[in-house]
Amino acid sequence: MDARELRNAFGQFATGVTVVTCVSDDGGPHGATVNAFTAVSLEPALAQVTLNRTSKACQYLTGKPFAINVLADDQLDVAWHFAGRPADRAPGWVDGPLAPLLEGAATTISCRPWRTYDGGDHLIVIGEVTAVGITAREPLLFHGGRFGRLRPPETGVHWSGSLDCPDHGWFNASAVFTPLALA
């Protein structure tokens, strides 16, 4: 299998952009940009990140807590910073329940180490989720080698052109429906 073709195929799956954060060997915060993040299980609460074996974050995560920071759509500079292109101004850190968190993330997921598996040139790291922080911020996306943002699909017709429009449709928000009597 041609590696470039495989990478291009994998790149057709749109993902969010995360920065996995942990504490480095010297006790300071460390992060790595990762788009290989997956929700694994609700019971027990588990989340997975996949990291290149050569990344420093791999050695810092061995048996240690970490956080998954889902970047907001205005944090492109943060994504690049932790992907190896340092920003002029370093991203801000805040204390998390288990590991340092990034300021301004759309969502944060704090994890205790649970399992690590061989994933070829990557390590598959699964953490037990102990805390989450959710904001109303939109996520930063990655697709086909480019960053992007969520936006409504372009249909050429405004929502008000639909009979289901909450403001101008058949039924407004104050409509009350009585269930049919059971026979």
pLDDT of the residue at 88: 86
Q: Report which residue type is found at 18.
A: T
pLDDT of the residue at 155: 63
- Is the residue at 133 inside a domain? yes
- The encoded tokens of residue 180 equal 């049919």
CATH number of the domain where residue 135 is located: 2.30.110.10
Domain count, the chain: 1
Average pLDDT of the chain to the nearest whole number: 86
Check whether 102 has a pLDDT greater than 80. Answer: yes
- Is the residue at 139 inside a domain? yes
- Is the residue at 63 inside a domain? yes
Kind and range of the H or E element at 80?
Answer: helix 76-81
- Is the residue at 19 inside a domain? yes
pLDDT of the residue at 172: 58
> What is the rounded CA–CA span in Å between residue 41 and residue 47?
7
pLDDT of the residue at 166: 59
Where does the pLDDT of residue 156 fall: very low under 50, low under 70, confident under 90, or very high at 90 and above? low
> Whose CA is closest to 17, among 86, 75, 104?
75
- Is the residue at 177 inside a domain? no
- Is the residue at 147 inside a domain? yes
Residue bearing tokens 């080698």 = 145
Check whether 7 has a pLDDT greater than 60. Answer: yes
- pLDDT, tens digit (0-9, with 9 covering 90-100), for 20-42: 999 999 999 999 998 889 999 99
Q: Which domain holds residue 106?
A: 3-156
- Is the residue at 121 inside a domain? yes
pLDDT of the residue at 127: 96
What distance, in Å, lies between the first and last C-alpha atoms of the chain? Answer: 62
Where does the pLDDT of residue 10 fall: very low under 50, low under 70, confident under 90, or very high at 90 and above? confident
Looking at per-residue pLDDT, the higher value among 178 and 94 belongs to 94
Where does the pLDDT of residue 74 fall: very low under 50, low under 70, confident under 90, or very high at 90 and above? very high
C-alpha 58: how far from chain center: 18
> Whose CA is closest to 127, among 70, 53, 56, 50?
50
- Is the residue at 90 inside a domain? yes
Share of the chain above pLDDT 90, in %: 54
